[in-house]
Each structure stands twice: as structure tokens, then as C-alpha cells.
Structure 1
């Protein structure tokens, strides 16, 4: 099926002394500059210039390894004019990092002009100005028309000192744990009152899997416009991408909505076309006021494609590997999108409801634990906002997690509807990534402040499974067959040389209270590879003692029967 997707390409001047360069001329000159960087300089590496009707003259020196860049603020519909007498390449990038063909600016925002040498070293003069597009005979074509997000105006909220007090408490909580406050961005919106508060909410940060929220919206945007038609064909991948945060499913969806694939390196026009299609994902939102957003890169690893890190054309998108370009979103932007989904404004009321359905989480322990019971693996509730909340709240969320970052956006509404709010937190520091309690604690603090009139609920009165109780240590609870499911929960426990230590005949889920059937040595950690030696004994638990399962780990211990996986559990007091 022929798709109706715009591809904004590259506007290039090559040895041109005519400021009225046409799109066809630019295309003809494309091959002369096809080996130049198709990734814009970072804003701090480009000189800001104020362009208007008066011509601005800039000079500089460029060579094969040195580019010169300028940034300017432009409005949708203005025409960019420039003139040079030197053999140079001038590359223009939109605010969404798209390569631009047309002299007519497609959207309002900050543009980048990048100058490169065709060969050798060149001293150049470049005259630039902005004019009214109506003064020129430019007619929109199908290629100029772009698919755009339907909500073109950002919602208006009133700042609240009360909500700001909650934000300050979150910052104090982080500081008390020795975590850097400047690594945080936070947005809090009271959906019922239209009030908000924030901390560094306009700071662009790496979103990890939170970007999948935007890819889902773009997919439904194409379905709404008829660009894609078989909605049912995406159901499986949407579930995997949104519920399990599966990168392989996300990769397939990106391929579909951009008509691109991952693969070996590209050159020349093929690379420029591929990049333009990928950057279109930025443009979809950027046209609606999501300024400087970058969601054009896939999340890794993608095992089915043998891509455990970016390679080939995906790596080419990163630009300078010393300062690699990565996806960037603000908490303000992700909170806005969540708001537009819950208000049934995103794409359409029908599709907003479907998107909310994919983001919905059941906070009953027995339900969310099944999503992935293994400690150290991604579970959209465990170690995130939902873990500490009452099980009867209406909860929509999308979380991200890497070895050095943790992110989440969520909509929380009490069952009586009196309280409804959006919380978005991005944390770019490994201390947040490693601490599985910090997001649940932050979430519970906000919930109690929003719902209980400012009073923090006691642990006894909180109707949620308390996972932050003091750890007693790790014990060996038994073994399972080496072919047992990786989920572990429900697998029959086997007594080998060391007996089963708990009363349950199967592996219990996290949060389950069990009784010790024998005395068990408490260890600081499970045995660690490569020797799996028993170390750091910190105590003994007695038969009949009740304990709560906090985490589970299973592995083949070379010191025991290789036909079985040894199962260890971190336990705490009830």
C-alpha cells in the first residue's frame, strides 16, 4: 500500500550564488555533499544568530573534519534565504533534527544550519535572512504535507505552591538517601484542578522505554489517518511493547510506522532518506509543541535481530560517538501526553481509550507479580510507582530502566474519583537505577499528600503490600529442575543434598508469607559466580519462623547437583 508520509529531506547549496535555490536544484546537488554529516551539531556547538528580513553575514573556515554551525529561531511558514559564492555544503535541520529540503520552514522552533567543506579547507561567507513565504510562488505538494499529532496546543496549568511543597519533599527524600537532586526532573499535575508543580521539567533527558508511549501514539495516529489499516495486526506487539516493555516488539512497530529497518550502514541519499523517515517521529510531536523532542532511535538490545547495541545505520544516527545523540524527552512532555490520553484527546477519544487500556496495571500483588517475578528483571510495577500504592486505585503507567537511569510517568486516580493526578519522574544517575525502593517511596509520599490531606499514612493503615520492610538476608529455599520456567513461581521445590527450608511445596511469589520448616542460615548475598562459595553469614532463622519473600534468584550451582537450579530468596519479617 502506498503510504501518505512526508519525508523532509536535505536542503543543500553547492557552489550556489542564487538565494532562490529550488528544491529540484537542491536534489541535483545532493550527491556532491552525500558524504557529509547528516546529524546536526549539538546546540552548544553552534552559534546563535538572530535572523529576520535584514541579511546577516557570517564567515568561517571549514574542512573535512571541522563543521561550523548556526542556530536560529524560525516560525512555521517563513522562508529561509541564503547566499554564498564558495563551494560549500549547507545543511539545514528542523527543531526535530530532520534534514530539510524546502526553503519554507515547516514548524516553529530552533533550526540548525551546518556548513561543511566539499573538499580540502574553505573560507566561506554565508548571507542569511528570513522572509515571508507568501512573497514566493511556493505551492504545497504531497511531500510537503506531514502527519502531525492532533493536539496542537499544550494544555495550560496553574502553578500550585501546595504541589510544589510535595516536589520539595521528594527532593529532600532523595537527598536524605545521598542521591543527587540535579539528576532529577519531576512533573506533578492535579488533573481535577488543573494545577501543577515541577522540578527541572523542561530538562531534556534520556527516556529509556518511556519513549514507547510516544511510539504507541504515533502508531494510532497513522491508523486514524488510514496510513496503516490493519489495527489487529499490531495487537500482539502493542501488548509486548507496553506491558512487558519488549524491545523486539518496539523495533517492529518503529519499522512499520517509519517504513525503515535496521541494518548495515547506508551512504548518500539512501542514508539521508532513511534518517528523514526516522526523524519524522520527532516531527509528528514537534509540530504540536513538543519542542526538541527526540524519539527517533530504537531501544536496545533487540536479540531477534542480533542487535545487542546500536550497529550499522542505527549507530550512524548516534553521530559523534564521543557525544552520542540519544533519545531525549522532558517530564513536562511525557506528563502532557499522559494528560491528553486520560482526557481522551490523544489522536481520538476511541484511540485514547485503547491507549489507556494498554497502560493500565492491576496492582493486586498476585497479578502484577506474574508479569515477571524475577528480581533484577524489568517488572512495570515492582520497584516503580505502583508497588507502593493501594491495589484499588486506577493506575496507568509506562516505566523505563537502564543500568544508569530510572524513569516513569503514571496517572493515578482513587476509586471515588476525588483524587486524580499525573506524576512523571526521570532520574539520570546510577544510584536511582540501583535503588529499587526510591520510586515506590516517592510515589507513596505523593499519594498520601494528594489523598490524605497532607498526612503520610502509616504502614499499618496503608492497603498495599509493603515491600520496603527490613531485609533479614538471603536463604536457600530449595531447588527446581534445571528445565524449570524462568518465572520460577509455582515450580515444584525439590529436596537435594540440602532439604527444602520452607513449608511451601512450590516456589512462592514475591510478597508471599511462608513458614520456615528447618533452621536456615541467613547470608548477606546469594553465592556469587564463578565459584559460588557460601560467604557472609549474618544469622540463623529458626523452624516455625514466619518470613516474607522479597526477591528470588535461581542458578545452576557447580557445587551441587547440576540437574537442578538452586533457588535462593531474600526474606524479611512479616
Structure 2
């Protein structure tokens, strides 16, 4: 069962949006997409209070940098349990991992969370211990007992050129052990952060501050890595408040966004788009956000 109430009118609106986007020079679009879309009635909702619709939301896909959201939440969990030591360098790494999507910062965060380091290939008992430690984040995710997390895999660093040495070996020969998330899992984690229902409310407020994005055009021009242009935030009306984590590489363009207009309840939208054509498509996510963000219950007759 989904963590939101399925809404037939929202499902129809999503189908209409996908039909229009497919017809606009994207044949077979649905095959490359996974979507979870949730709308809330209250301006400050609690977890599980939304209504929504989806497409392929349980499909496990490579999340690219969206996985950094999960690693940031894990940092707060480890700190709460006194498993790692807080400090300026840790906070700098978490900030750069989320705000700037730094892969170097993510590498340090994964090392701290798992007690591992990258390096040459390991063998025997040392290899077994290393792989066991690298799965600690997965073990924590399973302990949450959320159905959406049952098949996810969050155990790898993120890379520019790719893994080497023991990290490459850990991917397995066919890359079967690479990170994997669904839009449903991503949406539930983002909802938990935005509603203060994971780790602790103060920890969630710290995470929210990192996830906040500016839609101001001048600020976006000053920061080419703003995670708004070409992503969901690019299709939102001016004045909208946005919290998000994007992921982009040669085979994927993803985004997980929580957004709220003035005097409006929030929406949650997670879109994974896969394949080289989708990765290059800078208008798909903005157009989808524009089509769905304007939805209200009063518009059902338009569908």
C-alpha cells in the first residue's frame, strides 16, 4: 500500500500530462520514466496525509545523485546514536554533498558512515569485513520497516569518472550492486524530512535548510550547478518555495522536489528519467512540473 491515498483525478491528470509530453517529440516516453506525485490538503501536513498518483514508482533504478538525500539523513541518524563525531568538516561535507552535489564530499560522508575507505582491492577476511561495513546504511534503511525501502540499495559512493579498486570490485562484474532506488522510496524519505518524521524534528530542519533552492534568476545565473535549471524547479511559478535534490549523469536526469506556493499546501514530485535522450532533455522535467504543479481539486472537470 502506498504511503499516500491514491487519487483517480490526479492519476488522470498525470496521464494527460504524459500523453502531451510523449506527443511533443518524445515517443515511448513512459518506458523511460518513473514518477511519484503527492498533493497535500494542509499547509503544514503530517507524513501520510497526502493524496497522489504514480507511474512505475516501485521500479528500482540507478538514482545518480538523488541517493545523497539518503546519506544526509543517515548522517543525522548516526549523530543521534553517537556513532560518528560532529564537527565543522562533517557539516561542510554534508552541505557540499546536498547544496552543490559534490561527489568528493559524498565520498567522505560514505567513509564516515561505514567506517571504510577506498583503495586497492582487498581479499579474504579484510574484504568480507569491508563489504559488511559498506552495507550499514542499507541495514539502517531496512530497520525503518517502510515497504518502499525493501528493495533499495544505498551502499556506493558517487563518482565523476567511476569507481576503482575495491569500489569497482564492490559494484560486481555486471554492476549489479550499484545503488538502486525507486521514486516511491525517494518520495517517502523526502516527505519524512519535510514533515519532521524521521530522526528528529531539529535534524529535519537542518536537512531542509540544505535542500532549499532559490528560484531567483540572478542567483541561478551565478550558480550553473543550481539543481533548478533543467530540473523540476525550472517549471515552477516565481515565488514558489522549493526543496529538492537532483541527479544527473549521461544516462539519467532525476529530481526529487517538495514545493509550496504562497498560501498553498505543498506538493511532492519525484521523477526519474532514464536513457541518454532523457539525460539530455532539459525541458522534460520543467514541463512536467508545470503541468502538475497547477493542479487543484477544482480542476477535475478539465481532465
Normalising to structure 1: TM-score of the pair? 0.49
Q: Is the counterpart of residue 222 in structure 1 residue 78 in structure 2?
A: yes
- Which whole-Å CA distance do the structure 1 matches of 2:52 and 2:297 have between them? 16
- Of residues 181, 200, 209 in structure 2, which corresponds to 1:357? 209
Q: 1:450 to 1:299 in 2, by over 3 A?
A: farther
Corresponding residue number in structure 2 for 1:368: 220
Q: Counterparts of 1:477-496 in structure 2 under 5 Å?
A: none
- Which whole-Å CA distance do the structure 2 matches of 1:265 and 1:173 have between them? 49
- Of residues 79, 87, 104 in structure 2, which corresponds to 1:248? 104
- Which whole-Å CA distance do the structure 2 matches of 1:438 and 1:399 have between them? 14
1:439 deviates by 0.7
- Which whole-Å CA distance do the structure 2 matches of 1:454 and 1:389 have between them? 20
**Which consecutive unaligned segments of at least 5 residues does structure 1 have?**
1-153, 302-307, 373-377, 457-574
Deviation per CA, 1:131-177: give whole Å up to 9, x if none: xxxxxxxxxxxxxxxxxxxxxxx973211011101221232133212
- Of residues 257, 267, 277 in structure 2, which corresponds to 1:431? 277
Say if 2:32 and 2:278, in contact at 8 Å, map to a contact too.
no
Pick the structure with more strand per residue: 1
Corresponding residue number in structure 2 for 1:188: 37
1:455 deviates by 9.7
Say if 2:212 and 2:242, in contact at 8 Å, map to a contact too.
yes
Corresponding residue number in structure 1 for 2:158: 299
- Which whole-Å CA distance do the structure 1 matches of 2:242 and 2:118 have between them? 34
Say if 2:153 and 2:177, in contact at 8 Å, map to a contact too.
no
Corresponding residue number in structure 2 for 1:329: 181
**Greater relative CO, 1 or 2 (CA 8 Å, sep 6+):** 2
Deviation per CA, 1:413-468: give whole Å up to 9, x if none: 1121x331100011112111111111111111111224984699xxxxxxxxxxxx
Deviation per CA, 1:58-79: give whole Å up to 9, x if none: xxxxxxxxxxxxxxxxxxxxxx
Instruction: Give SS of 2:77's match.
Output: helix
Corresponding residue number in structure 2 for 1:440: 286
Q: Is the counterpart of residue 261 in structure 1 residue 113 in structure 2?
A: no
- Of residues 148, 159, 162 in structure 1, which corresponds to 2:9? 162
Q: 1:451 to 1:264 in 2, by over 3 A?
A: farther
Pick the structure with more helix per residue: 2
Instruction: Give SS of 1:245's match.
Output: coil
Larger Rg: 1
Corresponding residue number in structure 2 for 1:392: 239
Q: 1:379 to 1:267 in 2, by over 3 A?
A: same
Q: Counterparts of 1:409-420 in structure 2 under 5 Å?
A: 409-416=256-263, 418-420=264-266
Deviation per CA, 1:69-125: give whole Å up to 9, x if none: xxxxxxxxxxxxxxxxxxxxxxxxxxxxxxxxxxxxxxxxxxxxxxxxxxxxxxxxx
Instruction: Give SS of 1:449's match.
Output: coil
Q: Is the counterpart of residue 239 in structure 1 residue 239 in structure 2?
A: no
Q: 1:240 to 1:455 in 2, by over 3 A?
A: farther
Instruction: Give SS of 2:267's match.
Output: strand
Corresponding residue number in structure 2 for 1:92: none
Query: Which is worse superposed, 206-215 or 324-333?
Result: 324-333
The count of residues paired between Structure 1 and Structure 2 equals 290
Normalising to structure 2: TM-score of the pair? 0.90
Instruction: Give SS of 2:68's match.
Output: helix
Q: 1:334 to 1:430 in 2, by over 3 A?
A: same
**Which consecutive unaligned segments of at least 5 residues does structure 2 have?**
42-48
Deviation per CA, 1:187-237: give whole Å up to 9, x if none: 011133521111110000110000000000000101111112324332211
Corresponding residue number in structure 1 for 2:172: 319
1:272 deviates by 0.8
Corresponding residue number in structure 2 for 1:342: 194
